[in-house]
């Protein structure tokens, strides 16, 4: 009897294996083949069975990456062979994880896709500072955006986002460190120079470093402290709550 091919797209969370969901752990334990992104915390793989084949398919902006077409072809081939395939992604597969593209490709080939959500790094970064992404006194909504748009035509218009943030929204920027000067310049067109900003590198891990500064000093502070990818930038008045609680985890950098 033939087995209907299935691929699980599993969110591994921000890095700390204790932040995995129970459903993610069950999927990892059941997998015979795991395709693992660079940003998956090393401790997450302790749940994999010893006999599982682990294929590292690094995907990180600004670095040499495994071609997406190769990853999709490999997932499909292993699933059709009857393997229990898990595509393991940092954060959540449907939040800047290309999970949507992969699900569309697999379903077009007649392969069933199951999504297992994970804690996205934007949420983990804010929480590590004690900053809520929404707060009745500071923000009634949140925007998740990427600073690494695909192609020039897809580039974000930062002044427009700044105008929305000025209405009471927290702005969470993924992959924004490499373009921090341009996003800072655009946001300053619609937000006060004194708007609080935090940058969190390696959120949830023992190696976490973060700084809290203001929008006008953002780019200079990032360069001075040498923060790089993977990092999350949080912009908004919710950071005032974190400052009041004097809450921070890991290596904090004043700026």
**Which DSSP string do the residues of 65-133 spell out, in sequence order?**
---HHHHHHHHHHHHHTT--EEEEESB-TTSSSSHHHHHHHHHHTT-EEEEE----HHHHHHHHTT--S
- Positions annotated as catalytic residues are 37, 59, 175
Among 87, 54, 89, 90, smallest CA distance to 71 is for: 87
Buried b (16+ CB within 10 A) or exposed e, 158-184: beebbeebeeebbbbbbbbbebbeebb
Cβ proximity of 200 and 128 under 8 Å: yes
* Alpha carbons 212 and 78: distance in angstroms, whole number: 45
């Amino acid at each position: 009897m033939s087995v209907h091919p299935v691929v699980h797209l599993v969110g591994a969370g921000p890095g700390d294996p204790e932040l995995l969901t129970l459903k993610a752990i069950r999927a990892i334990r059941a997998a015979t083949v795991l395709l693992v992104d660079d940003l998956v915390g090393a401790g997450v793989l302790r749940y994999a069975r010893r006999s599982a084949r682990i294929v590292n398919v690094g995907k990180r902006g600004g670095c040499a990456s495994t071609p997406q077409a190769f990853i999709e072809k490999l997932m499909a081939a292993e699933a059709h062979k009857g393997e229990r395939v898990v595509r393991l992604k940092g954060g959540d597969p449907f939040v800047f994880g290309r999970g949507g593209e992969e699900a569309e490709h697999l379903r077009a080939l007649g392969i069933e896709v199951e999504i297992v959500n994970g804690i996205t790094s934007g949420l983990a970064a804010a929480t590590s500072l004690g900053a809520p992404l929404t707060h009745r006194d500071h923000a009634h909504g949140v925007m998740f955006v990427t600073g690494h748009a695909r192609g020039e035509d897809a580039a974000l218009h930062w002044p427009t986002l700044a105008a929305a943030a000025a209405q009471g929204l927290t702005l969470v920027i993924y992959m924004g460190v490499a373009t921090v000067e341009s996003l800072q310049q655009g946001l300053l067109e619609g937000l006060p120079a004194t708007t609080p900003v935090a940058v969190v590198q390696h959120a949830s891990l023992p190696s976490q470093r973060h700084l809290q500064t203001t929008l006008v000093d953002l780019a200079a502070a990032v360069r001075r402290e040498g923060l790089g990818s993977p990092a999350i930038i949080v912009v908004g008045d919710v950071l005032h709550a974190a400052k009041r609680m004097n809450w921070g985890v890991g290596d904090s950098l004043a700026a």
